[in-house]
Each structure stands twice: as structure tokens, then as C-alpha cells.
Amino acid sequence: MSVLIFAEGVDKSIKKSSLEAVSAGFALAQKLNTEAIAIAIGDYDTAALQELGKAGAKKVIHVTAGVPAYPSALAYASVLAGAAKEVGATVVLLSKSALGDGIVARLSVQLNAASATGVLAVPEVNGDSLKVKKSIYTGKAFADLSLSGAVKVISLAKNAVPLKEDGAAATVESKTYPVSDLAGKLVHQKEEKASGDILLTEADIVVSGGRGLKGPENWGMIEELAKILGAATGCSKPVSDLDWRPHHEHVGQTGVKVSPNLYIAIGISGAIQHLAGVSGSKVIVVINKDPEAPFFKAADYGIVGDAFEVVPKLIEAAKKL
Ligand SMILES: Cc1cc2nc3c(=O)[nH]c(=O)nc-3n(C[C@H](O)[C@H](O)[C@H](O)COP(=O)(O)OP(=O)(O)OC[C@H]3O[C@@H](n4cnc5c(N)ncnc54)[C@H](O)[C@@H]3O)c2cc1C
């Protein structure tokens, strides 16, 4: 018996959300009286793999051979199914992402497992079942689910579980597993790298701008504030539709869903479709000149004021910090 955690990476580093999943796997393994084993697929150096040990993995399985060079849910699901059977995993954990969603669906079929995505905390053990909480209806309600059966496949929402950083060094083992023939049928994949230093979906802080900023020429102050705070930049849909900002920054129901510790919304009205993408944020700060803007109802802190006066003052204050 074990808890197997898939560690997803970007640019040869393990994503923070995956390290959180390993920390959750460690906590769950303790409850189940077993061990957490991480599995990383692709090109990582020893230092990157040891981050998994610090996050709580006792052992790391490293798969480099026999898998496509690009992240493939089809291929990775077969690798994870092989690894899960080999290590006798009763739970497979991963972080919620576009890749993760594709893996959960395929892997739960291959392992005949109960599954849940976007889970908000370390699952609770209830006999042979696991109780999990997830948000539903674009963040307007919570569902408590009970997963039964011999194997469970679960993805965790980002920022749902604190990162453990004091784990011991993990043993690293290189392995190969059979990959589904179907994976080879995907012959071409174009990859477009998102601009910006910090990935929007991984960010702890997001500074987001809306149509209230009047035009792309005014984004300098948004970028400056984001830089000082170590944040990623986001925007509302009309802003990306108008080509003021790239489409990968568009947050909301039809864009990226974010769950940072702090979401700062500047000149965004707070339409329901935008709120659907930010409801997982821990703290929301809204800056809007209209005191009746709907976003204030969803805000933890609000500043009623002109963004062109408030943001430069925030930048000055943030610089002093
Ligand atoms: C099917 C569908 C899907 C959609 N999906 C999404 C989505 O995923 N994401 C999304 O964002 N939208 C989405 N929308 C659009 C959504 O309904 C809103 O139209 C959009 O979010 C509004 O963007 P905004 O708040 O930037 O602009 P506006 O509605 O124009 O609001 C601008 C805000 O800026 C404030 N403002 C103006 N000047 C200043 C200033 N100087 N200082 C401070 N504040 C100022 C105004 O008071 C106002 O509240 C969708 C719509 C549909 C129909």
C-alpha cells in the first residue's frame, strides 16, 4: 500500500502546486500508515527531484525513457497506471491543471478507481473510504464526496494545502513503464509559452486589470505593481478581446481559473463570469472608482478610488515593504 503523487513540471522544475500535492500525499500517507511516493516524468535534475523529498516524498520514481517529449495525458496516464500497480498505490494524487484533468479521467478508468478533481484539503480517512471537499457551480457551493473502492484518483486545487519544506532526502529510482499505443497517434503538438516570469495558474499573488484601465498603454503600472509583489498579471475578458493583453491572461469562466492567496482586481466590474475564475482566491482586494461595482460584494478589502491615483500610491507603499 502507498500514496503515489504525480509531480508535474515546467521548464525542468517541479511546479509548486505539485509540491503541494506531495505535501498532501505525505499527510494522507501518515493517516493511512503508509508512505508517499512521488513520480516525475521527463527531464529533471537531481536538485529538482529532491524538492519532492523536502515536500514529503520518501521515494521518487523518475521516468525519462519511452514517453513523448511533450506532456501527454494519454501517455502519462499509462505510465501512472503501471507505476500505481507496481507500488500498490491505493491513492494517486496530483495537482489540478489542464494536464492533470486529462490524466485523472484516463487513469481512473485504467485503475477502475473512484475519482474527484479540484479537492480543497487533504482527504479525510473514513474506514476504507476517503471523504473529500470540492467546490462546485463555479465556486458558489461546496460538495462533500465519499470515495470508495480499492483505488482513488484525486486532484488537488492549487494553494489548498500548505507546502511542507522540511522532509528528508528521497531515494530516486529510474524506471520505465509501458505507454498506450494511442499516445503515438498524436503526431503534432504546437506549444506556445505564456509570457511573464510567473505562471498565472501557479501564482501566489495575481494583479489583474480590467477595462477601467482605458488602454494597453496604462498597463505599465499593473506590471510594476506585479513585479514588486512577485505576482503574475491577469485581466478581464474584454481586455484580452481588445488585444490589450495576451489571451492567456484572461481570467474567468471562459478563461483561466486562479486560486492565489491574494487577487488584486483593478478597474474590473466583477461580472459573474469574471468572478467564476477567482472564487478560489484566499483574499480579494478590489480597486474601483464606482462604489456600486459588483466586485466589492466578493471583496475582502476594497478601495473606492481612481486606479490612476490609487495604484501609484500602492506601488510606492509596496516598494517601502
Ligand atoms: C458567455 C460569457 C462568458 C464570459 N466570460 C468572461 C470571463 O471569463 N472573464 C471575464 O472577465 N469576463 C467574461 N465575460 C464578460 C463579462 O460579462 C464582463 O463583460 C467583463 O468581465 C467586464 O470586464 P471589465 O470589468 O474589465 O469591464 P467593464 O464591465 O467595462 O468594467 C470596468 C470597470 O472599471 C471601473 N473603472 C473605470 N474607470 C476606472 C478607474 N479610472 N479606476 C478604477 N476603476 C475604474 C468601472 O467602474 C467598472 O466597474 C463573459 C461574458 C459572457 C457573455
Give 123-187 as a DSSP string: PEEETTEEEEEEEETTTTEEEEEEE-SS-EEEEE-TTSSPPP--PPPPEEEEE-----GGGGG--
| CATH number for the domain harbouring residue 257 | 3.40.50.1220
For position 195, what pLDDT does the model report?
60
Going by C-alpha positions, the residue among 310, 284, 315 that lies closest to residue 298 is 284
Specify the ligand 1 atom closest to the Cα of 270.
25
Same domain for 142 and 51: yes
Summarize pLDDT for 64-95 with one digit per residue, the tens: 988 888 888 999 999 999 999 999 999 999 99
Same domain for 166 and 208: no
Specify the ligand 1 atom closest to the Cα of 235.
11
Residue 137: inside a domain, yes or no?
yes
pTM of the model: 0.79
Same domain for 309 and 267: yes
Same domain for 213 and 178: no
Decide if 303 contacts 287 (C-beta within 8 A). yes
Same domain for 162 and 70: yes
Residue 210: inside a domain, yes or no?
yes
With the most atoms of ligand 1 within 8 angstroms of its CB, the residue from 219, 269, 275, 304 to mutate is 269
The mean per-residue pLDDT over the stretch 189-218 comes to 85
- Residue range(s) defining the domain that contains residue 225: 200-320
CA-closest residue to ligand 1 atom 7: 252
pLDDT category at 187 given cuts 50, 70, 90 is low
Looking at 138, 162, 185, the residue that finishes a domain is 185
Q: What are phi and psi of 40, to 5 degrees?
A: -115, 135
Looking at 152, 185, 218, the residue that finishes a domain is 185
Least confident among 49-53, 144-148, 276-280, 298-302: 276-280
With the most atoms of ligand 1 within 8 angstroms of its CB, the residue from 221, 233, 237 to mutate is 237
Summarize pLDDT for 12-56 with one digit per residue, the tens: 999 999 999 999 999 999 999 999 999 999 999 999 999 999 999
For position 43, what pLDDT does the model report?
93
Same domain for 223 and 106: no
Least confident among 135-149, 205-219, 296-310: 135-149
| CATH number for the domain harbouring residue 111 | 3.40.50.620
Residue 194: inside a domain, yes or no?
no
Residue type, 286: V
Residue 282: inside a domain, yes or no?
yes
Residues whose beta carbon lies within 6 Å of some atom of ligand 1: 210-212, 236-239, 252-255, 267-269, 271, 273-274, 277, 287-290, 293, 306-308
Decide if 219 contacts 209 (C-beta within 8 A). yes
Same domain for 167 and 81: yes
What is the grid cell recorded at 271?
461580472
Residue 177: inside a domain, yes or no?
yes
Same domain for 179 and 204: no
CA-closest residue to ligand 1 atom 11: 236
* More confident call, 66 vs 116: 116
For position 321, what pLDDT does the model report?
84
The total of structural domains in the chain comes to 2
Handedness of CA 11, 175, 79, 26 (dihedral sign): negative
Q: How far is the CA of 296 from the centre of ligand 1 (A)?
A: 13
Q: How far is the CA of 32 from the centre of ligand 1 (A)?
A: 46
Same domain for 255 and 154: no
With the most atoms of ligand 1 within 8 angstroms of its CB, the residue from 250, 253, 296 to mutate is 253
Summarize pLDDT for 215-246 with one digit per residue, the tens: 999 999 999 999 999 999 999 999 999 999 99
Same domain for 178 and 245: no
Looking at 185, 217, 247, the residue that finishes a domain is 185
Q: How many CB atoms lie within 10 A of CB 257?
A: 20
The runs of H, that is alpha helices, within the chain are: 16-31, 46-54, 73-86, 98-110, 220-229, 237-241, 272-275, 295-298, 307-320
Residue 190: inside a domain, yes or no?
no
Q: How far is the CA of 206 from the centre of ligand 1 (A)?
A: 17
For position 192, what pLDDT does the model report?
63
Same domain for 68 and 175: yes
For position 201, what pLDDT does the model report?
86
* More confident call, 138 vs 175: 175
Same domain for 223 and 152: no
